[in-house]
Amino acid sequence: DSRGRVIEHNPMTGSTRMAGADGTSQTTTRLEDGSFRAVLVDGTEIVTAPNGSQVVTGPDGSSAETTVTGDGWVSRREDGTTVTSSTAGDGTTRVAYDYMAGAGGISSIARNPGDGTMQVVLGNSDTIDISVAEDGSITMAGPDFERTFEPGSGIAGRIQTALADDGSSTVSTASGTTSMVSADGSTMTVESSDGSTAIATKDSEGVTVDVDGVTYTYAFN
């Protein structure tokens, strides 16, 4: 074809071989049960069943399997982890993780698109609830914390971002530090909670930084 690939098909065996312009190749065979078996250039074998279930076998013999179920799928990974995804009639999707002994991480994730909520259960049984309000703000609540992200300002109680009428923006942190960037991005002013001030100005020659009255110049060349 126009990309330099050569494709051969054998209707007797149902086998298709594709050789790329870079020398790589892939062979695909249709099996008796309707599955497709693909062998990649590195020896990886992928068998995909008509219903979408798939088995991937690596050159070293390791394998991973994904089985399509009536309400989702089950994936068994090479490291022994099993991931199960299911979707209920109301659209709620739950993904559960079953790790090998001694391993940890996320135990399950449940998402409800109807009310914009999500619940994450960690391997230690801690639960994190995530919700989206009508104004677009996102609240995340865990065992010992709660954070709210406001689309127009940032994380409530931690970082606040404000955009002025002149196009400049100011970022304020809970520690009392503020950073202001001019509309054209040429000047940045940082004021720390202890009263120190740093002003960085960029022009065609370089950047000048003034820290509490002491000036530093950094030329581009």
Mean pLDDT by 10 residues, the chain (221 residues): 75 75 80 86 88 91 90 86 87 80 67 81 81 77 79 58 80 78 85 84 83 79 62
Which fold is adopted by the domain 70-149? Outer Surface Protein A; domain 3 (3.90.930)
Radius of gyration of the chain measured on its C-alpha atoms:
28
pLDDT at 66: 92
Gap between the Cα atoms of 112 and 131, Å rounded: 10
Q: Cβ of 210: how many Cβ atoms within 10 Å?
A: 15
pLDDT at 158: 61
Residues 6+ apart with CB under 8 A from 161: 152, 153, 154, 169, 170, 171, 172
- Whose tokens are 């703000």? That residue is 137
Amino acid at residue number 181: V
Gap between the Cα atoms of 13 and 30, Å rounded: 8
**Residue in 98, 95, 61 with CA at minimum distance from that of residue 76:** 98
Pair of tokens at residue 9: 């098909």
pLDDT at 195: 80
Q: Strand 63-69 and strand 54-57: pairing?
A: antiparallel
